[in-house]
Amino acid sequence: MSISVIGANKRYGDFAALDDVSIDIPAGSLTSLLGPSGSGKSTLLRAIAGLDSLDSGTVVINGGNVTGLSPQKRDIGFVFQHYAAFKHLSVRDNVAFGLKIRKRPKPEIDKKVDELLEIVGLTGFQRRFPAQLSGGQRQRMALARALAVDPQVLLLDEPFGALDAKVREDLRKWLRRLHEDVNVTTVLVTHDQQEALDVSDRIAVLNKGRIEQVGAPDELYDRPANVFVASFLGSTVRVNGELVRPHDIRIGRNPELALPAADTSLDTGVIKARVVRVVNLGFETRVELVAATTGEEFHAQVTRGDANALNLSPGEDVFARATKVPELVAD
């Protein structure tokens, strides 16, 4: 089921949490709302859910205007960062909750709950209570509960926000697979660009209550509309005044080595820089530099192998050149 938000405005006093926001979310897609804290992501999601009203604007789900409808009438599943599970109910009863209040027949409920527990990988956990689950398992239970009533739309507000990096990564992969299996139109709020790039079909980048750009992850990464999108979707630095990604900077011990022989298409110029610090980050190494003439600080990200071959130490002079710059596409 597709979702459209048209001309949404929401103010808190003088502050515009949503400033004339319009977005189309295609049926069956997994769309992320990505942006820094306070950019209006949750406000937009809550408006789609009907949990908050808009000052003006329209929300359309599956072609129907739902702007004035209560959340219960919108056919949505909702999962928050801190999921409020019923502590006194088992995993099974938590997942069955929505079906029970809809008075579905018991055999139907049993079958559905079995299926969902299987999908979320909690089959062996059905008799446990929420307090006996890990954070990741609890969020999977929350997703099963949201999916139990066959919502048209699944709305997720930082569902993995409180979990550690490794669990988040596992759950992302799992969410992607779940989405491929269940194919319900899903909107995910996140401030984590890696998470958005990893799971989404489409990403909407929000900033100060406005949408900066909407598109496929590659589109936003390779052809960002502006500096904000470019910098939010990956780290960027300035070299010779040009915005570049740190892994697109070559460094060498002499000017020729910083120049790849075949590539003259994007010559931002070779600059001399002094090594400030060399930090190993696993596969990659961050080389922190300061430009000799301008004093501009920047860093390059190179492979550990390249860094070892260069064998750099703080205080040494090198030459750096950006081999590629993101193509900013004005919207």
Ligand X SMILES: Nc1ncnc2c1ncn2[C@@H]1O[C@H](COP(=O)(O)OP(=O)(O)OP(=O)(O)O)[C@@H](O)[C@H]1O
The verdict on 35 binding ligand X (CB under 6 A) reads: yes
Report the residue from 31, 32, 39, 268 that binds ligand X according to the rule CB under 6 A.
39
Q: What is the spatial distance between Cα 258 and Cα 255, in angstroms, rounded to a whole number?
A: 5
Shortest gap between Cβ of 179 and ligand X (angstroms)? 21
Listed ranges 38-46, 65-73, 95-103, 213-221: which one lies at the site for ligand X (CB under 6 A): 38-46
Per-residue binder mask for ligand X (CB under 6 A), 5-34, x = binder: -------x----x-----------------
Nearer Cβ to ligand X, position 161 or 234? Answer: 161
Q: What is the spatial distance between Cα 43 and Cα 38, in angstroms, rounded to a whole number?
A: 9
Report the residue from 42, 268, 301, 323 that binds ligand X according to the rule CB under 6 A.
42
Say how many Å lie between the first and final Cα of the chain, rounded.
27
Find the length of the chain: 331
Q: What is the spatial distance between Cα 192 and Cα 198, in angstroms, rounded to a whole number?
A: 10
Nearer Cβ to ligand X, position 48 or 148? Answer: 48
Residues 184-203 that bind ligand X (CB under 6 A): 191
Nearer Cβ to ligand X, position 13 or 295? Answer: 13
Nearer Cβ to ligand X, position 42 or 186? Answer: 42
Nearer Cβ to ligand X, position 17 or 204? Answer: 17
Closest among 271, 276, 303 to 289, alpha carbons compared: 276
Listed ranges 20-28, 41-49, 127-135, 293-301: which one lies at the site for ligand X (CB under 6 A): 41-49
Residues 102-161 that bind ligand X (CB under 6 A): none
Residues 234-273 that bind ligand X (CB under 6 A): none
Shortest gap between Cβ of 209 and ligand X (angstroms)? 7
The verdict on 40 binding ligand X (CB under 6 A) reads: yes
Residues 43-82 that bind ligand X (CB under 6 A): 43
Task: Give the chain as a 3 state SS string.
Answer: CCEEEEEEEEEECCEEEEEEEEEEECCCCEEEEECCCCCCHHHHHHHHHCCCCCCEEEEEECCEECCCCCHHHHCEEEECCCCCCCCCCCHHHHHHHHHHHCCCCHHHHHHHHHHHHHHCCCHHHCCCCHHHCCHHHHHHHHHHHHHCCCCCEEEEECCCCCCCHHHHHHHHHHHHHHHHHHCCEEEEEECCHHHHHHHCCEEEEEECCEEEEEECHHHHHHCCCCHHHHHHCCCCEEECCEEECHHHEEEECCCCCCCCCCCCCCCCCCEEEEEEEEEEECCEEEEEEEECCCCCEEEEEEEHHHHHHHCCCCCCEEEEEECCCCCCCCC
Report the residue from 3, 29, 41, 199 that binds ligand X according to the rule CB under 6 A.
41
Nearer Cβ to ligand X, position 43 or 137? Answer: 43
Shortest gap between Cβ of 31 and ligand X (angstroms)? 15
Listed ranges 23-31, 35-43, 178-186, 315-323: which one lies at the site for ligand X (CB under 6 A): 35-43
Shortest gap between Cβ of 205 and ligand X (angstroms)? 11
Nearer Cβ to ligand X, position 84 or 131? Answer: 84
Residue ranges in contact with ligand X by CB under 6 A: 12, 17, 35, 37-43, 191
